[in-house]
A and B are shown apart, each in its own frame.
Chain A
Amino acid sequence: MADTVKVCTGNFGKRAQSIHTYRKLGGYSTVSSKLFDLSQFEVIDAVMRSGLRGRGGAGFPTGMKWSFVPRNTGKPVYIVVNADEGEPGTFKDHFLMKEDPHRLIEGLIIAAWALGARSAYIYVRGEFLPCIETLNKAISEAYGEKLLGENIGGTRFSFDIFVHRGAGAYICGEETALINSLEGSKGQPRLKPPFPAVSGAWASPTCVNNVETIMALPWIFENSPEAYAALGTPKAGGTKVFCVSGDVKKPGVYEARLGIPMMEMLESSEFAGGIDGDLKGVIPGGSSTPVLLPEEAAKATLDYEGLAALKTMFGSGAITPFNTTRDVVQILNTLGNFYSHESCGQCTPCREGVGYAKRVLNAIVNGNGRDGDLELLLSLADQYNGTTICPLAPALGMPVTAFITKYRRDFEEYIAKNPQRSSPRLNSNIRPGAFW
């Protein structure tokens, strides 16, 4: 599809980091022409009609999320941009912010106008210092042109944007953990309710949106919500920025309509340019989404419903195919290490259970697997669901279940190499609690 409309990535490679170039490319046209004549209701209504859904992973309709933010409570409203991109496989926000920071600022002005926010925080993960430098420079330019600050565009509307540098915690991508981190605490998720829309940062109404979600707004208002909705599927409007990594010829960030076939994204020369080797499986939406076998990937379409039909998730749009030379047991072991490292330690099923799964996986990879280990892992994965505050432990549970059920033979081969596999596990340092 050569006619793919570029909603978020249109300015890539055009040096849009400077405000003059961004304006020449048509930027800030919504803010300077029509935004300030729209009521807050109309802006939210337009976002609802566009069918825009949150692009961070959960896919919640953005307009609906905004409509939950109460007004006139006497408390300030905050917009927080979630740029704590850390889901393995996802790297779109990194390049979106680096290539087109002004689009994020323009989107934020639209969002702030709709929600009545006075201050917005862009929470960028600590590893993205070059991105933060680009953003801060762009924000300073926007202040210079009076697009930010007091009485923007001659109205009584005032708005400030601050960049907050995180310091390396995957869990801060969860919105309540991110809010805690913004408040200067450990990034441990909060119980919901109250939802952040009602009581978030500093107990005030807070709207947490992904970078890509906010960056879709300028296009929606420049064109029309209906035009945006028409780009996608009936249930989710617009385009999506996909991140393709792993065993493909041209890994990178590609924008495409929602609902395109997965194989087109992987094979087309416009996108990833073909699989490197023979396909063994595809992780369709970031590390926590269940893996797809090649025959499932062949019929998958890239949208929320198409992937849900295959019992996996759309997630953040990160697609990671791997070929037959890769070792699935090692991949799952990597994920076990990752999630146990990133557990915030708040809920017991996650702190102990994820570490338990990791140690069993390590034992299998080390040639110390026992009969029954796979059942043990499946049972553990099942017990994460619904027992923790945030979905970090289930985010390991899902790939564990999918990898073991779909590639069971690979795991059994590992275990079969242990001559003592049938004797019970005496190694007491694998049981829960051994870590401490």
Chain B
Amino acid sequence: MSAEKNLHIIANNRLRFTEGPKPYAGDLPAPAEQVGHLHESQKQPSWNELAPLLENEQVKLRVADLLSRYPDPQGALLEVLWIAQEVIGWVPREAIRWAASVCSCSPAHALGVATFYTMYKHAPTGRFLLQFCRNMCCSIRGASDIIRYAENALGIKTNGTTPDGLFTLIQVECLGACGNGPVMLVNDDFATDVESGELTLKKGAALTPDRVDRIIAWCRDRASQMKEEPVRDALGGKLSGHLGHPGAPGASARAQVLDYAPPPPVLGVSAQASADGVTLTWKAAPEITALAVERLEDSSWKQIGTLSPKDKEFKDASGKAGMDYRMTASSGDRAAKPSAAVKATEKAG
């Protein structure tokens, strides 16, 4: 190999093989990239263009609901970015700045988050974003052939958009439907087939060239019937009835009370008989506020004393060896189950 060739590679610093045999495996799938991550020149809309979409009553209500769910407003950042993506279609820089101000974090932090997660789009895509899984299970079942077939069917390459603006095709990592591999997402819905006008993900059904054709035809059909894709709630609908996180802005929830549950039963009760009665010892949990001692008399339990949690032992002067005892703890108004019954025994030796 000549030094010149080598220099050429270093100067470009690109993973490109200019010498040696032809690539053995043909075209490998391109790495899955975040949409728009490589588009430095993406034209960014100004805040004035975005403000009507983001600063309206509907969005404000949803954001307020989200903020009430987290002890710290920053917790809602991912969800607020989802809302921005839902109403704009992608997340322009000014929307990220807006999300940062809503969630009380720095714009730099919000930009870091928005570019860390691959599902936030940093450039507009076609109306139907087709995400093909190219990971292990799908590729075992021939994902690369399916992807190549879809590319040919649409006449675009991976990461490309059709000229009519209908389809953008990308490759993604595992989609979590490996039993249907190869599998794809059409916008937010899993699809391996079309049945009676709906995208379906039936057990064991994988993508085949026919089914890819059907799905593409379904999209085209939908595009001819509906002028634009209806907006879909990116957070999967509103929860009705929650009171939020205690202390969060807008939340009316109270913190958990500590003694909602009964205390645990008393453990390790032992009863020791001697000449002057029976002595009980036990181990009790710290949260109890009262203890009761019961003795079995004529096959029914009779309470013979109550104790405070500070007491360490209890003496039953009238007790004798062979009698049965049990103890019941309570905390506030909630009583525990009685402990296991123990028989008083003489001390060995």
Contacts and interface: CB of A to CB of B under 8 A. Distances in A.
B77 interface: yes
Interface stretch (B148-156, B221-229, B249-257, B303-311): B249-257
Contact of A184 (B14, B103, B180): B103
Q: How large is the interface on B (under 10, 10 to 19, 20 to 34, 35 or more residues)?
A: 35 or more
Contact of A87 (B174, B236, B243): B174
A150 B243 contact: yes
A318 B178 contact: yes
A202 B69 CA distance: 13
Interface string A12-56: 000000000000000000000000111111100000000000000
B236 A88 contact: no
Given A185-B109, A338-B136, A341-B173, 8 more contacts: A116-B258, A136-B238, A143-B241, A150-B254, A164-B78, A184-B75, A184-B77, A430-B15
Interface stretch (B24-32, B38-46, B49-57, B290-298): B24-32
Interface string A294-320: 000000000000000000000000101
B264 A41 contact: yes
B104 to A, nearest CB: 10
A125 interface: yes
B176 A125 contact: yes
B236 A419 contact: no
A393 to B, nearest CB: 16
Contact of B69 (A36, A157, A162, A330): A162
A148 B239 CA distance: 11
B81 A167 contact: yes
A365 B24 contact: yes
B13 A429 contact: yes
Contacts of A318: 178
Nearest to A365: B25
B76 A88 contact: no
A266 interface: no
A289 to B, nearest CB: 11
Interface in B95-125: 103, 105, 109, 112-113, 116-120
Interface stretch (A245-253, A255-263, A371-379, A383-391): A245-253
A335 interface: yes
A133 interface: yes
Interface of B: 1, 6, 9-10, 13-17, 19-25, 28-29, 31-32, 69-72, 74-79, 81-82, 103, 105, 109, 112-113, 116-120, 134-137, 139-141, 172-181, 185, 188-190, 203-204, 232-246, 253-265, 285, 287, 336-337
Contacts of A335: 136
A407 interface: no
B266 to A, nearest CB: 11
A160 to B, nearest CB: 5
Given A89-B137, A183-B75, A169 B118 contact: yes
Contacts of B77: 184
A148 B242 contact: yes
A320 B137 contact: yes
Interface residues of A, number: 110
Given A126-B117, A331-B139, A419-B21, A429 B243 contact: no
A426 B140 CA distance: 32
B174 A88 contact: yes
Task: Please give me the 4 A-B residue pairs with the lowest Cβ-Cβ distance, nearest first.
Answer: A143-B241, A132-B236, A184-B77, A167-B117
Contact of A144 (B24, B188, B241, B259): B241
A139 interface: yes
Nearest to B144: A330
A214 interface: no
Contacts of A160: 242-245, 253
Given A140-B239, A252-B179, A338-B173, A157 B256 contact: yes
B95 to A, nearest CB: 14
A326 B14 CA distance: 30
Contact of B117 (A117, A164, A187, A333): A187
A428 B203 contact: no
A130 B105 contact: no
Q: Which of A40, A118, A337, A417: most chain B CB closer than 10 A?
A: A337
Contact of A165 (B16, B17, B29, B79): B79
Nearest to B173: A338
A59 interface: no
Contacts of B17: 363, 366, 368, 427
Contacts of B255: 76, 118
A163 interface: yes
Given A117-B256, A118-B256, A136 B239 contact: yes
A94 B241 contact: no
6 contacts: A87-B174, A90-B176, A129-B236, A139-B239, A368-B21, A419-B21
B234 A337 contact: no
Given A40-B264, A167-B120, A322 B244 contact: no
Contacts of A199: none
Contacts of B116: 169, 186-187, 344
Nearest to A419: B21
Contact of B237 (A40, A133, A149, A250): A133
Contact of A168 (B119, B139, B259): B119
A427 B9 contact: yes
Nearest to B10: A428
A104 interface: no
A252 B201 CA distance: 12
B285 to A, nearest CB: 7
A20 to B, nearest CB: 17
A202 B177 CA distance: 32
Nearest to B74: A184
Given A136-B239, A148-B242, A160-B253, A253 B179 contact: yes
